[in-house]
Amino acid sequence: MSLWAFHLSAMAKRKETSVDLHRIIMVGMAGVGKSALTLQYMYDEFVENYEPTKADSYRKKVVLEGEECNIDILDTAGQEDYAAIRDNYFRSGEGFLLVFSITESESFQALDDLREHILRVKNDDKFALIMTGNKADLEDQRRVSTAEAQAQATRWGVPYVETSAKTKDNVDKAFFDLMRMVKATKGEPAGGQGKKNKKKKKSKCTIL
C-alpha cells in the first residue's frame, strides 16, 4: 500500500478535516497536462515527458492569506482502474483541479463524467472544484473555445481558468484559487459545493 493510500484510508476512517493541510487532486483525461501542471507548480519546471502511468503525491508549504499551510497534490495517472482505489482518492480530495486540454475536444467532453463521479463519491461532503483549460500556449491548435468552456463552468457554478504548464501562465493562480476555495469550504457548515443536501443514509453493513 502506498503511503498516500495508507494516509487516505486512515483519513477516511477518522473523517477528519485538517485546517492547515489542503488536499488537491488532479483529475482529467490522460495527456491533458496534469503532471506537467503539478511539476510546474511544485518545481518551476516544464517536464515534457513525465512517466504517464505513475500516480504521485506531492507536498508543499505555502502561505495562504497570511497563514502557513501545507498542500498535498495527488497527480492521478489513470491506472486507478480499481473503482475502490479511485473512489478512495476522490473521497479524500478537498479540492479538485478538473483539467482538459484546449487542443482536444474529447478531453473537454470527458469532464462531464469525471465531475459526475466526483459528485457521486463526495456525496454530502464539502469540496472545491476549478475547471482548467490547459495548453493555452497552443492557441493555433485550439479546439475548445474559451466561451464554450466558460459557459460550461458557469452552468456548473465553478471558476474557469486557462493555463499553460509550458509557460506557467496562470498555473500559480489555478492552484492558489483552488486552495483559497478549499480553505473557505472548511470554514463553512456541511453542504458546500455541489451539494444535494440529501439526508445522510445510514451506514450499511457489509456481509463478508
Binding to ligand GDP by residue 170, rule CB under 6 A?
no
Whichever of 26 and 69 has its CB closer to ligand GDP, that residue is 26
Applying CB under 6 A, among 70, 138, 142, 143 the residue interacting with ligand GDP is 138
Give min distance, CB of 208 to ligand GDP, in A: 37
Give min distance, CB of 190 to Mg ion, in A: 32
Give min distance, CB of 165 to ligand GDP, in A: 4
Binding to ligand GDP by residue 166, rule CB under 6 A?
yes
Residues 6+ apart with CB under 8 A from 171: 37, 40, 41, 163, 164, 165
Give min distance, CB of 12 to ligand GDP, in A: 25
Whichever of 55 and 158 has its CB closer to Mg ion, that residue is 55
Binding to ligand GDP by residue 11, rule CB under 6 A?
no
Cα–Cα distance measured from residue 195 to residue 164, given in angstroms and rounded to the nearest whole number? 31
Tell me, residue by residue from 35 to 74, as one string, x for binding to ligand GDP by CB under 6 A and - for no binding: xx-----------xxx-x----------------------
Whichever of 79 and 109 has its CB closer to Mg ion, that residue is 79
Give min distance, CB of 100 to ligand GDP, in A: 10
C-alpha cell at 12: 477516511
Of 75, 99, 96, 82, nearest to 4 by C-alpha is 75
The item of ligand GDP, Mg ion, none sharing an interface with residue 31, based on CB under 5 to 8 Å by kind, is ligand GDP
Tell me, residue by residue from 13 to 32, as one string, x for binding to ligand GDP by CB under 6 A and - for no binding: ---------------x-xxx
**Phi-psi region at 102: left, alpha or beta (left = phi > 0; alpha = psi -120 to 50):** alpha
Cβ density class 47-67: b for 16+ within 10 Å, e for less: eeeeeeeebbbbeeeeebeee
Of 33, 17, 126, 44, nearest to 76 by C-alpha is 33
Binding to ligand GDP by residue 107, rule CB under 6 A?
no
Cβ density class 160-182: b for 16+ within 10 Å, e for less: bbbbbbbebbbbeebbebbbebb
For residues 202 and 208, the answer to whether their CB atoms sit within 8 Å is no
Residues that bind ligand GDP (CB under 6 A): 28, 30-36, 48-50, 52, 134-135, 137-138, 164-166
